[in-house]
Structure 1
Amino acid sequence: NILASAGPELEAWKPRSAAVVLTPHPGEMARLLGIPTAEVQRDRITLAREYARTRGVTLVLKGARTVIACPDGMAYVNTTGHAGMATGGAGDVLTGIIAGLLAQGLNASQAAAFGVYLHGATGETAARHRQHPASVIAGDIIEAL
């Protein structure tokens, strides 16, 4: 919300010495772009790639088939995950995984792509261990790691 309210001329988009990874869900991405969420959902890959390229960030556009867009224009689509992961705190777990991978020396694109894959795979494991997959909570994903 702070980035969205600052607009595209935000001083933080100037060159930085450290990598930046943003992890918006479609509603947050819509606010960043100033467009309706439905429009984000219509062209997730193109919008994510353009945002990452023009701002020099790695962008993780969360949702079914999460898109990882890199500053060099590359994009990846994740195939792991479970609908039960759409719960409060799951994105915080993802951010922690990515931060941990960055701390271990992976670059931002590697950390984001591997982090999203690992997050989704552990979410699938967590869903299998619940009586009903829709009852997955963030702690279940952490436990499955």
Structure 2
Amino acid sequence: MITLVRQELYKLSKQRPVRLFFGFLLLFQVILAVYTARYPQFLTSHDSFINGFYAYIPTTFFLIAIGSTHLTIERQAGTLRLLLYRQYSRTTVLLSKWLSILILSISVYLDFNVVGLIIKLLFFRNLPLKSAL
């Protein structure tokens, strides 16, 4: 099972949309931080930081797209059949795919929270961390 999850994570990490999304998310958060710093009457720095500079919005759509197409792409390419011919059951294969999507979603959420913290330290030094917790 661990081998299947590792293989699925490797396949996900090699997909071009996944790699591009991390760069897009970083750019999205930086643009929103600059907008928040420039126009504080529209977006407050506290609200932007609490909401992860609104990175959860594109992240949600991205995870829905990856989750819905992950299994479909394998079926279309014919690689799902190769997995099922091996010693693993259908349930184990599907469970490993779902676990890999879960691990990807956790890593994306951790990534945008860490980037949000770095942006806070770069742009909004006067914003206290205690108020965010």
- Regarding TM over 0.5, the answer is no
TM-score by length of 1: 0.27
Name the structure, 1 or 2, with higher relative contact order (CA <8 Å, separation 6+).
2
Structure with larger Rg: 2
Using the size of structure 2 for normalisation, the TM-score is 0.29
**Structure that is richer in strand per residue:** 1
